[in-house]
Amino acid sequence: MEYMSGQLGELVEQLSMLPGIGTKTAQRLAYHVVSMPEEKVERLSKALIETRKKIRYCRECYTLTDSEVCPICADGARDHETIMVVETPRDLAAYEKTGKYGGVYHVLHGAISPMLGVGPDDIRLKELMRRLEGDVREVIIATNSTLEGETTAMYISKLIKPTGIKVTRIANGVPVGGDLENIDEVTLLRALEGRTEL
């Protein structure tokens, strides 16, 4: 990348730090940015900075939100005694898109993975257990059907069992290794409806 100006090289380097963006794509994006009208670039960079500044974790469910409590947790019409546990805010969004789930969520921000060195303390598990001290009737574990997702589901169910709260796991039907966000709504609903008690 010696032939590139230092500034352009810096932009390529920064862009290529984003997931799914290799050096080639980063270069293409960088050249595109140069050709954009300055005010558009300003809007883009402002969106990046403002998003990072304003977005935070919901105090209740730990999804990303721009208020202290997310709109789902703040909604009194939802069933706050049913908590669906998901790995990421994108998984939450996938279930929300079905429009058929009336409970609330808990976002773990990851899954337990001994291989990657991710332990129970590295995800928002303590926060979940704290929520269970309130009135909770059912915890639906909707982690992915990957090895990590299953490990996490087992771990959580063992943790919750002694509390007497009902623990369910979404049905298989969600393809193994499939990211929840890439699964169609019908499959998601079927998985939710066919959940079994652990």
How far is CA 167 from its chain centroid? 20
CA angle 174, 176, 178 (to 5 degrees): 70
Least Å from the CB of residue 69 to Zn ion: 6
Q: How far apart are CA 95 and CA 132, in angstroms?
A: 21
Q: How far apart are CA 27 and CA 19, in angstroms?
A: 15
Region near Zn ion per CB under 5 A, out of 70-78, 122-130, 151-159, 165-173: 70-78
The answer to whether 84 contacts Zn ion (rule: CB under 5 A) is: no
Q: How far apart are CA 154 and CA 76, in angstroms?
A: 31
Region near Zn ion per CB under 5 A, out of 30-38, 44-52, 72-80, 135-143: 72-80
The answer to whether 128 contacts Zn ion (rule: CB under 5 A) is: no
Give, in order, the Cα–Cα distances in Å from 24 to each of 27, 77, 82: 5, 48, 46
- For helices 185-193 and 89-98, the axis angle rounded to 10 degrees is 90
Least Å from the CB of residue 125 to Zn ion: 16
Least Å from the CB of residue 142 to Zn ion: 15
**Out of 26, 30, 58, 108, the residue judged to bind Zn ion by CB under 5 A:** 58
The answer to whether 85 contacts Zn ion (rule: CB under 5 A) is: no
Residue 26 or 92: which CB sits closer to Zn ion?
92
The answer to whether 188 contacts Zn ion (rule: CB under 5 A) is: no
The answer to whether 92 contacts Zn ion (rule: CB under 5 A) is: no
The answer to whether 83 contacts Zn ion (rule: CB under 5 A) is: no
Residue 73 or 191: which CB sits closer to Zn ion?
73
Q: How far apart are CA 16 and CA 20, in angstroms?
A: 8
Binding residues for Zn ion (CB under 5 A): 58, 60-61, 70, 73
